[in-house]
Structure formats: structure tokens, C-alpha cells
């Protein structure tokens, strides 16, 4: 089996024979054909099998009403005391103020979480998680018509969030943690993001290992998409996330980031969540998560240059400003 990675380009100098990437801002004329034996070859788009070409070029479906024809920013709002970067900053009334700030800074999606999934984090009881996220989502929905996502791996929490006004689900376990999550997601009719993780938060950084991290993550997400569709979740409602930092070493993360465009071949929008993670601090020499904004923005823009449709970030205003400048610089036009 070959794996096909489009070599994504952006900008106004687009050859007539270039193929559009997923109905977005990128295009490609060549691909990298990867094999499980480690070999790789750059080939012309003429070599693409018909079914792969269709998956790569077909415009992505809207996600909760949001068109995927331009980059979208998902802003993080953790209503938790122990998240690795912003724990304790958005509890109670502070969560409402934080949500309003993110809206004002131009968030396309606000992702509300009530359970930390940082390395070593402990599971939060369902009732406690619901108590954290439900009032935040309800209050935000009363003031804002945009996309509200709930970051949870638990079916009862997802159902409570949907009742409160959430319009998207974000499951870091890709439907593997809670046996009822697939049915709940199918019944809700909401789009869902399926993320790759090796292990759970308590164990995922205990010597993670892969035969080939890029292809192993790709195959896992392909399998989880199949599981979701078998459970009644329409493929057009699925977003995928390679899970940077979830059961990966620094080297694993960099291998995924360098070839992110491979995941377009799955035919779903891609979400990249790398904001403030440890590898950014290691490479960028920033020990404190709050000091990792420049590195986080750099990684987000690198993903967008490969056609990633959604970036999940802590630094909303900085990312919006950077994205506007990136769009202006690559298109030659004011966005």
C-alpha cells in the first residue's frame, strides 16, 4: 500500500495543471509517495490513483456551518484547575470573561474543556466535568452564534454540552474511551474531531514507540474514521487530529509536523493542536508554557501552509494577527 502526501504550495503563481487541495487555499502539482519499507519518491500528480485524487481535491464539508475554504482558529477555553498552560484561569465567572475575550479576538470556534488531558492528569468524574462546562457553554451560547466545541471523551458530558448549546464534539480518544460515545455522537448529529493518542493521559508519555509514527498515526485515524462511520457518523461530520504531544516524543512530533499534508488523503478536515506544548518549549528555549506564544504561532502557520484547516490555540489574538499577515504575504492582497 502506498501513502500519498501532496506537496502543498500557496500563492498566486499557480500552474494551470495544479490540482486544488480540499477546496482550500493550497494546491499541488507533485506528491511524495511513501511506503512502509521507508522508501519515498516524489512523483507528478499524474501518477495519482483516481480515488486518492478525489479525496485530495474534493472541497471539505462545512464544520458546524463553518466553511473550510480558509484557515479557522479554534480558541482554547479550559474550565479546569489543572490544565498544563491555563489551569485555574477560566473557572466560574472568569470563564465567561475569557469566552467574551476570545470572541472579541476573532475566534472561529471556542473549545470548552472540563478535564485536563495533560501528561499525568487524573480522570475527572462525569458530574464534576459537566458542572464545569455546562454553564460556560450555556452562557456563551446566549451571547454568541458561533461554533462552540466541547473537549471531552465521555458520552454523558458530550450530551450535556449539546443540550447547553455546543455544536461540535472534540474527543481526544477518537471514540475509544467511552463505549457510548460513538452512539451519542451519531445521535447528536454534530461534527466530531477524532484525535490520535497512544495511551491515556496517565501513561501516554511513558516511552511511546511507533514502527513509523507518520504512517502508524495515519492508519489509526483511518481505522477510527471507519469505526465512526460504522456507528452512524457521516464521514462529512468528521475532523481528524494527529494528536501532537499525545503519546509522542519530540522527534515523533517533528516527524508528524514535517509531513502533515499526508492526512489530507483521509478526506476530512485536519485540526492541529500544538499550542504551547513541551516540544515548543524545548526547541524554543521557553520553560514556561505562557512564554511559548511565538513558537506556537510559528507551528500553527507551518500547519496552515500545508493546508491544515483548523488550528487549536491558546494565544488567540496573536494567532489571528499572524494569520492575517501570512494570508496577505502569501496572496499579495489584504485579507
pLDDT digits (tens, 9 = 90+) for 49-65: 999 999 999 999 999 99
Give the side-chain half-sphere CA count within 13 A for 167: 15
The pTM of this model reads 0.94
For the four alpha carbons of 235, 238, 239 and 244, in that order, the dihedral sign comes to negative
Closest to 236 measured CA to CA, from 263, 196, 271, 266: 266
Cell of 222: 483511518
Q: Has 5 been annotated as catalytic?
A: no
Q: Which of 5, 132, 276, 277 is catalytic?
A: 277
Question: DSSP E strands: which ranges in the chain?
Answer: 3-6, 19-20, 27-28, 30-34, 40-44, 72-78, 109-113, 147-151, 168-171, 192-195, 238-241, 271-272, 310-313
Please report, for the chain, the start and end positions of each structural domain, with discontinuous segments joined by +.
67-331
CATH superfamily of 67-331: Dihydropteroate synthase-like (3.20.20.20)
Please write the tens of the pLDDT for every residue from 108-130.
999 999 998 777 677 899 999 99
> What Rg do the C-alpha atoms of the chain give, in angstroms?
19
User: Kind and range of the H or E element at 272?
Assistant: strand 271-272
Which has the minimum average pLDDT: 87-101, 172-186, 249-263, 292-306?
87-101
* Of 317, 250, 288, 281, the residue nearest 86 (C-alpha): 288
Instruction: For residue 97, name the pLDDT band (cuts at 50, 70, 90).
Output: confident
Task: List CB contacts of 283: < 8 A, sequence separation 6 or more.
Answer: 250, 295
The owner of cell 480540499 is 22
Neighbours of 212 (CB within 10 A): 16
Strands (E), 142-202: 147-151, 168-171, 192-195
**Cell for 233?**
457518523
Among 191-200, 205-214, 246-255, 261-270, the range scoring the smallest mean pLDDT is 205-214
239 vs 123: CA distance, rounded Å: 24
**What are the grid coordinates assigned to 306, written together?**
500545508
Rounded to the nearest 5°, which phi and psi values hold at 325?
-70, -40
Q: Pick the closest to residue 304 from 323, 318, 290 (CA basis).
A: 323
Rounded to the nearest 10°, the torsion over CA 280, 282, 285, 291 is 40
- 312 is a catalytic site residue: yes
Amino acid at each position: 500500500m502506498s501513502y500519498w502526501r501532496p506537496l502543498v504550495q500557496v500563492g498566486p503563481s499557480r500552474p494551470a495543471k495544479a490540482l486544488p487541495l480540499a477546496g482550500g487555499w493550497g494546491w499541488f502539482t507533485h506528491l511524495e509517495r511513501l511506503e512502509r519499507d521507508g522508501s519515498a519518491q516524489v512523483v507528478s500528480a499524474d501518477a495519482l490513483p483516481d480515488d486518492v485524487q478525489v479525496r485530495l481535491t474534493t472541497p471539505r464539508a462545512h464544520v458546524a456551518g463553518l466553511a473550510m475554504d480558509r484557515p479557522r482558529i479554534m480558541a482554547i477555553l479550559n474550565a479546569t484547575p489543572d490544565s498544563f498552560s491555563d489551569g485555574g484561569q477560566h473557572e466560574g465567572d472568569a470563564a465567561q470573561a475569557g469566552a467574551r475575550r476570545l470572541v472579541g479576538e476573532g475566534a472561529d470556534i471556542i473549545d470548552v474543556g472540563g478535564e485536563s488531558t495533560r501528561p499525568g492528569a487524573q480522570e475527572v468524574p462525569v458530574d464534576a466535568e459537566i458542572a464545569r462546562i455546562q454553564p460556560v457553554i450555556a452562557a456563551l451560547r446566549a451571547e454568541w452564534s458561533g461554533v462552540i466545541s466541547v473537549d471531552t471523551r465521555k458520552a454523558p458530558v458530550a450530551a450535556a454540552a449539546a443540550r447547553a448549546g455546543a455544536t461540535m464534539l472534540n474527543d481526544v480518544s477518537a471514540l475509544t474511551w467511552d463505549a457510548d460515545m460513538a452512539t451519542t455522537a451519531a445521535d447528536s448529529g454534530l461534527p466530531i474531531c477524532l484525535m490520535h493518542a497512544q495511551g491515556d493521559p496517565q501513561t501516554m508519555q511513558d516511552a511511546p514507540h511507533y514502527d513509523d509514527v507518520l504512517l502508524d498515526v495515519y492508519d489509526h485515524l483511518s481505522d477510527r474514521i471507519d469505526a465512526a462511520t460504522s456507528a452512524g457518523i457521516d464521514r462529512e461530520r468528521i475532523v481528524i487530529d494527529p494528536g501532537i504531544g499525545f503519546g509522542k516524543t519530540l522527534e515523533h512530533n517533528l516527524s508528524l509536523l514535517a509531513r502533515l499534508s499526508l492526512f489530507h488523503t483521509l478526506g476530512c478536515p485536519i485540526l492541529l493542536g500544538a499550542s504551547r506544548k513541551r516540544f515548543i518549549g524545548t526547541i524554543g528555549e521557553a520553560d514556561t508554557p505562557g512564554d511559548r506564544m511565538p513558537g506556537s504561532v510559528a507551528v500553527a502557520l507551518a500547519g496552515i501552509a500545508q493546508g491544515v484547516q483548523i488550528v487549536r490555540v491558546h494565544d488567540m489574538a496573536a494567532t489571528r494577527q499572524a494569520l492575517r499577515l501570512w494570508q496577505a504575504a502569501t496572496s499579495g492582497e489584504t485579507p
